[in-house]
Amino acid sequence: MRKYIFDDAVKGTFLEAVRRSGLVTTSAKAVGLTSRHVKKECEEDEEFAAAFQDALVEYAESIQAELHRRAVEGITEDVYFQGVVCGQKINYSDALLTTLVKAKSPEFREKLSVDTTIHGGVLLTLPPAQSQQQWLESTKPAELPAHEGDDELEEANIIDVESEDA
């Protein structure tokens, strides 16, 4: 049994508030509910859930219409001279126009790139040893096969260091 009233009148008031503000929690509070009540009602009533989604779409479209009006049609503002209105001018918003163009035209959107360089090494793990002897054998460094010229290379890399302590 529900402890809150969410009849058709309350639903209508809530949906109208969502259409105006786009804010679910604020709209729910305006009719004495919480966003949790709205979520529960959406789960139980498919028709209400569809109406709720429609209200959110209507709000989004009203915002786009306002962006268009300010960017393309402009806003009329009074022009003052010595404190007296002497005319009017229309101001347009380049920033809002840029936002509209990016939203509607993919070719104008910024291209994002991510550097995926990974620094580090590789961790090799050995299977568990069955005995101590197996473990000792598995930890011995592997011997690399000899190549021609290795002796000369090894001799060239030897550094003779004399110790003062000796």
Q: Write out pLDDT tens, residues 83-112.
A: 999 999 999 999 999 988 888 888 888 887
Phi, psi angles (nearest 5°) of residue 160: -95, 115
Distance CA(48)–CA(37), nearest Å, equals 12
Residue 10 predicted with pLDDT over 60: yes
Neighbours of 52 (CB within 10 A): 21
Distance CA 59, CA 61 (A): 5
| Residue range 141-147: mean pLDDT, rounded | 68
Write down the pTM of the prediction: 0.57
Q: What is the pLDDT of residue 121?
A: 76
What ranges make up the beta strands (E) of the chain?
A: 75-81, 84-91
